[in-house]
Every structure is written in structure tokens, then in C-alpha cells.
Structure 1
């Protein structure tokens, strides 16, 4: 093999990673949509998690369909990587455009169907893009290219959260949020926001020609009653001193806010609130089509069809996942990894909305979503450094410089959106901890996975027991850092030693992205226990306690990192090198 053949094909690779950006952009968009849909459609927390379920279940269904079709004919060999990738992008574009009629009909099931179609397109793109990234150069640096692509994916999640937040809620009010306020003034501001929301809803209900009238009157009367309660609380607050006890007012706010959320709005009002969703997804659909055309006519080369006979022979041979413990344990690992990654952020809006964590409302949640996905970007940019051929000294320096630059991107994007990020300046403590653990883990997949699993478990535990919620929320958000470089580690361990069955094993692993749709439902179900058990458990709310779910997820991932190398050693495989990335 010549040096030219083993060099990374940067022109082609840069074209490809545009696709990874879109995966991330839409992934974070889901996290903004969850609290919006929860309020507009009057959903429980577990019902709101159907957004994640629809999107990630599509990966499972798409992978199965692709696998079944591939038993008859090798799709990638027959149609080529570029055409298949373009087809996946077009399918995602169709799903994006379906957001327009979904908003016009005001239908939550319609939105879920649209997201499912977007996810189907993504499943095709995943199946094509991951192996293609690995094959665009020296196989020895394939995992590092995948890591770099994962970093671009995370850049998309970071930017996506902020841009969709601007599209739905407008720019932030940094100057207002920077003012020094007492606790009583903060809760007063929350009541004012709630009053404005209720007043706007009543105005829309009374101005629209909504049938049947009984629905309009019921909703209007219910909201008017809650508005009177808000006015009473504001009057009580205005007559209080700045150092008055705030807890009774917080309790009243939570009660009224929950009662307001239970009021079912007339369909015409729901439709009007969903109008803002149309524009960003129209733009996204157009972007998918443009990228599909670009991909179709790009200079990306299909990998040589040199393995056709091997593929035919492989399909004739019997294959059982139960013959490979590293594979079936790895499938569970991928299921839990993706589920843990998604559930931490999908339920974060509900956590931050509790009075325990500052009653942060939907229009202020985007910076925290951006920080979480930005944490994955920090980790993956850090891992992507290894794709470049540099000296040890430069490589070590970049391991500090690149995360700092990535954190700067997060801060800069939020400042652009006029969000107050002064509370984020403590976060480099967690970034330095991540860098330290990454140096200890090195390039050994098992050791890296074990150490980051233990670190993530510790972060979730500290988030559960830390008394100061201003710090506790960053323990949960830092889960993104420690998840960031797990994907290739799990993948490499799971397919190690499978030889000619590697392709089939990979398709089974991609199916396990389904975890991103299932595990958030479990955590959402625990969150909903606050409705029937307002006293919580162990002195915290059930929404707070629900983060025991990702804690258990990290525990399994640590176990897999510890145990899988022992399985491989018994099979004569000494170690597997990897440097993390993302799906």
C-alpha cells in the first residue's frame, strides 16, 4: 500500500462530515421540542419523552429494514455509498417538511411520525457514513477520523440548541438576568412571567373562533381562576420585605404552574403556538436536499468492491450473536450508552424547572442544553486530535488547547444569543477532570471505557447528593463529557475478533441506538411520580431522584470496560486501541 493510499482524503472527508453536523443539529432540536410540546399538548413527562422514542426507534426499525434488504443484495455495493447517503438525506428532508402540516393540524402524533421519518433517514446515513469515514484513509487512524466526525456532530448539537431556541423564544435578555436580585425578587419575576403567559393564553382563547364553545369557556374560566391566584401572590410579594421567607411563595408558584399546565388549550390556540416550529424545520428540510445534491455530485469515492466474494461467503455461513459474549454485552452497552446520553438531557428541562433547581423556564433552557451537547463536543474534539500526525509534545498541548477552544465556542454562541453564561465559568473544573481521566485511559478501549464509566457514575452520584443545586446541575451536565468518547470504545470491543462477521455485528450494534428512545421513557416515568408523591424521596423530588437512571447506565458501561477485555484475552485478543467519538 502506498503512502498516498493511507493518507486521509481530507477533501472527501470534509464533505462527509457535513452529514454528521446535521445529525447533531436535529438531535439537540429534540431537546428543545420536548418542553415545548409538553406545555402545548398538556403532556406528562413520560409522554413528552415520546419525542426521543420516535426519533431513536426509527434507528432500530431502519437498521432492521436495511439488514433484511442486505440479505438479498448488498445495498452499498449495488447502489454505492454516495447514492445511498443522498437517499437517506432526502428521506430526512421529507420528515422535516412534514413538520409544516403537523403544526397546521396541531397534532402531536403527526409530529412523532415526522420525527420518525427524519430518524429513518438518519439510520441510513449512519450505516453509510460511519464505515465510509473509517475507509477514507489509513485504517489505523479510522477510529480517530470517526472521533473527529463525532466532534462535528457535537458542534451541530451545540449550535442547534441555541439557534432553535432563538427561533422559538427569541434572543435572551442578558442584561436583565445579570441584575443582582434577592430570592423574593426572583420568584416575583417568575410570577410575572407566569401571569403574562396566562394572560396571553386567555387573550388567544377569547379572540379565536374556537368550537365547541364549551371547550373555550372551560379553558378560559380555568385560566382566569389561576390568574386570580397569581395576582394574589404578586400582591403578597409586593407587601413583603426583600429578606422575607421565599419558600411559601415558591410552593405556591409550583402549585399554580402545575395547574396551569393541566389546562387543555383549544385546538386553534395550540395551532397558533406551533406556528414558530414551521420555519426552522422548513429551512432544515431545504438544507437536507442541498446537502443530498452536494453529496451526489461530490468527489467522494466508493470503497473498492474487493470484498464481494467474501460477502457472499459470509452470508452463507451461520452467525449467532450468542457465540460472541463481547458482542451481545456490547449491544447492551450501545443500548445503555445512547440511552444514557439522551436521557440526561431529555429530562434536564424538567429538572431545572423544579423550584429546587431554580424554576428555569422553557425560554431559558437552551444555554444548558447547549452546554451539555457542547460537553460531548469538547470530549470528541479532544479525541479527534489524534487524527493529526503531530509530535507527542504538540499532541499533549492540543489536549488542553482544543477543549479550551471548544468551551470558548459554547460561551461565544451563548453570548451571541444574549444568554447570561456567568454561571458557566465554574465548568472548566469538570473539563480539567475529564482531560486528566483521558490521559490515564490512554488509547486502551477497555481501560478508557471503565474509567469514564466510573467517572460518570461518580458525577451522577454527586449530582444526587450535592446540596447546592447551582453546582449539582453541572455534575449532571458533565455526564456529556464522560460519555463523549465511549462510542468507538464500545464498538471496537464489541466487534473485536469477529473477522468476517464484523459487518453483521455492526448492523446489530446500530440497531441498539433504540436505547435513546427507551431509557428516557423510564426516567420520565420516575419524574411523573412527583405528581402523586409531592414529598419526593430521600428529601429530594422524584425528578431529581430520576438521575439514578443514568447512574446505573454508567455503572454498566464501567463494568463492560472492565470485563470485556478479559473475554477477549481468553479468545487470544490482548487489547484493543481506540480514542473515543460519537454516534
Structure 2
């Protein structure tokens, strides 16, 4: 076949990339669910990270099952790509619909089971959709199509948190989401935090008084506990009013007291009926998702999508029988790199709500978290859209101009989407500085996979370090969020290096790499475990809360990824393999 003459099957491809959108939409929406579940199920931070664990461990389990079955029979060749893809969509739909009984039962473990099933379906879709996108046309433009699909994936990660945030909390209030700390004294800032927490607890009391589902005795007991916290807050606020010129140590004492009251509030076990009432809002977005999965599955079955030719049948089995991961250092080192990369990508954002909720980062409440989640995942969109420019055959000058323009177009989309949701994001404008830094580094890395991976790994580690030490926490949070920019190109770079020189064993190697998405479930647990030291050690470490200090975990991950980018080209060179240029994609 002359691949150069085979045109992209656009009508088929455009229907396929809807699936990529779903992956991003659900994965990013998990970060909105984490603080919600943490609050209403009274979870520790490490327990709340089980949301990410359930979702990403499903990728590992699904890939292993698919791999074991594939040893006996080639599923894709036997059943076809679109039928297998439809099955994956139906599995995810079942998981999405299970959110309804999970919310009705107010069971955290039921929710985790539902998420696991959604992720299980996604693992099947991942295995099918990636190679199918590549094969929908010329081999020379396969990576280009995967790049475009990756951009749609990132669009899903950007707007997913916004839409789920609207479903759970309603349209935003620009006045509430605008930072109020500007032009305020330290004692005024602390008093404002007291007032916000008081209003939240007062709202809970009003709702508890209309609770007809639970035992009156239990409701009254919880109301009494909440009122005690409100009384303590009012007592401290009165003291603040009488001490407007409080010195630094007194301000710290008030902040410490607020932290203690907030901790008591977090540990309140609300009546089951009351919790069910708040969780019922989770049902709607996942019912819509479940229906969408079913509709896309039906569309796939009746679409004109053709299964790729059985070109692989001519491959001799001899190579696969002798295949061993340990024979290829680029592969086993790459498996660890994928594990840590996916882990750090998920961990940075899944622990960010807890960080922003701390006193020094402004005590951001659950309903104002969505814009930050959107900006983080939008950062991956910025990076991937920037990388996708390389796939077009344009002049060097046009390429350079677009590399400055396209990232800011993506940034404007993020701003507009959040503004339309009713939330003020004027504070995000300063993020343009990080985008410029990213663009400069992308020019330095060029299209070389190893060099780009090394530079972005180092940059990610530096950003995490600056987030730990920068004194202004309003700025420091953007160092952490910028991790999304530097994660954006890591998947294709690692993948390209890991499968280089594997020839007929590339398929098996790819399945091992996809299994390592498991890191998205493990690394957040490690970071969440460190966060939970704040529960028993109020003094923190090195002047930081443990939640803040937990971002040393991403530093370690980024350093290893940088090392992999540095060492692998040297390993490949010894094997007589000289790496070509990188093409951007997304997992």
C-alpha cells in the first residue's frame, strides 16, 4: 500500500475524537469530586485521594486483562476496532449510571466502585482509540491525528471541571471568587476568613433545620456541635474587633485558633440524609455522561469506521516469544518514567484543593476550586496546542509566530470559559508570565524528544521548588499550577524514547507502558499521606504546613523524568539508534 496516497478519513476520525474528549472531561472532573467527598464523607487527605486511585488503577487492571486475553486471541482483529470501542463505552456508561445509586446510598466505596468501572471502560477505549486514530489514513500523518485528538482531550480537561462545578455548586459569584486580600491588613484578612467559615456553617444549620430524613435527635446533636463552632468563631471575631492593631504574633494566634475550629468543622459527621441531599447533585452530570457514552457507542456501531487492514498478521511470532522487558533498558526505565509522569500530573492537581484550602493559601472553599482546576488542566491544553503546530508544513517564521500566538489563544479560551461560568478570573492574568517561560523552553527543546523531556523535567522540578519557597502565596500557587505546562509534552516524549528500536515487539511494549498509568492512582496517595501529617503535627516542617511540603513529591518525579530524557538517547545510541523528532500527543 502506498501510505503517502492514503488520505485521512476525516468523517470517521472526527467521530472518534469525541472519545478523547470524554477521557479528559472525566479525569479532570475527578478533581472537583475530591474536595466534595472529603467534606461530606469526613475523609483524611490520603483517603480522598482514593478517588484518583480508583480511576487510574482501573487503567492498569483493564490493560492487564486485555493483555492476558490477547495472548490467546487478537481481540481487535477478531471483534473489530469499533465493536471493541463500543464495548469500552458501554462499560464506562455502566460506571457513570452507578453514580445514581452511589449518591442515593451516600456510600464513598460505592462511588469508588463506579469510578473504577468508568476507568475500566476507558482502558479499553485507550487501547483501541490510539492505534485506530493513527491508522485512519497515511502512516506519515498518524502522529498528526493523534496530536489533534490530544488537543481535544485537553479541551475536555479544561471545561470538565467548569461544567461539573456548575452542576454541583451552581453558577459562580464573581464577588465571592475575587481575591479579597488586596489592600487589607493581616488582621482584616484573618477576620474575613473567620466570617467566610461562619457563613458556611450558618448555611449548614439552616439546611439541617429543614432535614426531615434523619432522626431528630441526631440532627439536633449535629446542630449543637455546629453552633458551638459558630459561637467560638463569633467570640474570636469580637476579640479581633477589639484588637484592630494586633501584632504579628497575635495575628498568628488568631489564625491558629481558626485552623483548630476549621479542623473541628471538618470532623463533623453529618446525618446520612443530610449528606444524601448534598450528594444528589453529583447524579446529574454522570447521568448525562452515561447517556452520552451510550449514544456514542451506538453511533460507533453504525458508523462507517473501517477496521484497519490486518497488516500485522504477517509478523512472525518468533520475536514476541523471546520478548523480555529487561532486554530493553529504554523500555523498563520508560515504564517508571510513565508511572511517575502520570502520577505527578494527577497528584499536583488532586492535592491542590487541599493546599488552597490552607490558611496561608487563602482558605479557598470547595465551590471556588473549579477555576484553578480548569487552569491546571488548561495548561496541558496550552502545551499540547503549542506542540501541535509542529505537525503543519509551514515556514519557519510562521511556525515561530504561531508558537507565540496559539498558547495565548488557548489561555483566552480558559479565561472566557471561566468568566461565562460566573467566576472572576482576573487574578489569572499574571499566569501569562509562566506561559511565556514555557514557550521559550519549548524553543530550546525543539523537536528532540530527549532534550525536550530533560528541559521540561528540570523546569517542572524548579517550578515545584519555587512554589515551596516563594514568600507570596498568591504567586506561589501558580508555580504549582504551571506543572501542567511542563507535563503537557511528556507522554509522547517518553513513549517515543521507550519504544525506540523494539520493532515487532512495539505492541507488547506499548501495553506495558499503558499499564504504568497506574502511577496516577499511587503517587497522589503518597502525597496525600504526607498532607495528613497536618492532622497530628500542627507545627509543620521547615516553616511549611505538611500539605505545602508535600509538593516535594512532584519534585522527585520531575527529576527522574529529566534523568530519563538525559540518559535514554545515550542508551539508544549504543544500540545504534538515533532518535528523530518528537510528535506531540496525549494519554
- Aligned 1:125-204 pairs, distance under 5 A: 125-178=125-178, 182-183=184-185, 184-204=187-207
| C-alpha contact (below 8 Å) 2:102/2:111 kept by paired residues | yes
Tell me how far apart the structure 1 counterparts of residues 362 and 544 of structure 2 sit (CA, whole Å): 14
Matched, 1:250 2:252: no
Return the alpha-carbon distance in structure 2 between the equivalents of residues 358 and 167 of structure 1. Answer: 24
Normalising by the residue count of structure 1, what TM-score does the alignment of the two structures yield? 0.96
SS state of the match for residue 427, structure 1? helix
Task: Check 1:370–1:298 CA distance in 2 against 1; reply closer, same or farther (3 A cut).
Answer: same
Residue in 1 aligned with 2:292?
Answer: 287
User: Aligned partners of 1:212, 1:276: CA distance in 2, in Å?
Assistant: 23
Rounded Cα–Cα distance in structure 2 between residues aligned with 1:280 and 1:189? 33
Deviation at 1:419, TM superposition (A): 1.3
Question: For each residue in 1:27-61, what CA deviation from the matched residue of structure 2 results, as whole angstroms up to 9, or x when unmatched?
Answer: 11100000000000000000000000000000000
- Aligned partners of 1:148 and 1:387 also within 8 Å: no
Residue of structure 2 equivalent to 1:476 = 480
After superposition, the Cα gap between the structure-2 partners of 1:466 and 1:407, relative to the gap in structure 1 and judged at 3 Å, is same
Structure-2 change in CA distance of 1:240 and 1:6 (3 Å): farther
Q: Structure 2 unaligned runs (5+)?
A: none
Pair 70,311 (structure 1): closer, same or farther in 2 beyond 3 Å = farther
Residues 492, 576 of structure 1: 8 Å contact kept = no
> Cα 1:386–1:136, aligned 2, differ >3 Å: closer, same or farther?
farther
Whether 2:57 is the aligned partner of 1:57: answer yes
User: Aligned in 2, Cα 1:450/1:387: closer, same or farther, shift over 3 Å?
Assistant: same
Question: What is aligned with 2:509?
Answer: 505
Structure 1's unaligned 5+ residue stretches are none
Q: CA deviation at 1:434?
A: 0.9
Partners of 1:181 and 1:311 in 2: CA distance: 72
* Aligned residues of 1:134 and 1:145 also touching (Cα < 8 A): yes
In structure 2, the partner of 1:343 is 347
Q: Aligned pair in 2 of structure 1 residues 293, 240: CA closer, same or farther (>3 Å)?
A: farther
2:238 to 235, 238, 242: 235
How many angstroms does 1:267 deviate by? 1.1
**CA separation of 1:198/1:523 partners in 2, compared to 1, >3 Å: closer, same or farther?**
same
Partners in 1 of 2:114 and 2:247 — Cα distance? 49
Deviation track 1:343-387 (CA, whole Å, cap 9, x = no partner) reads 000000000111111111111111110000000000001111223
TM superposition shift of 1:483: 0.5
After alignment, is 209-218 or 22-31 more displaced? 209-218
Structure 1's 205 and 104: CA in aligned 2 closer, same or farther, altered over 3 A?
same
Root mean square deviation, CA, Å: 1.9
- Structure 1 residues 83, 242: CA separation in 2 closer, same or farther (over 3 Å shift)? farther
Separation (CA, whole Å) in 1 of partners of 2:144 and 2:334: 20
In structure 2, the CA distance between the partners of 1:330 and 1:4, relative to structure 1 (3 Å rule), is closer
8 A Cα contact 2:165 2:367, kept in partner:
yes
Matching residue of 1:303 = 308
Worse-matched range after superposition: 404-413 or 385-394 = 385-394
1:93-492 alignment runs, 5 A limit: 93-178=93-178, 182-183=184-185, 184-209=187-212, 215-239=218-242, 241=244, 246-310=251-315, 312=317, 314-315=319-320, 317-492=321-496
TM (norm. structure 2) is 0.95
Report the number of matched residues. Answer: 582
Q: 1:573 to 1:437 in 2, by over 3 A?
A: same
CA distance in 2, matches of 1:219, 1:354: 24
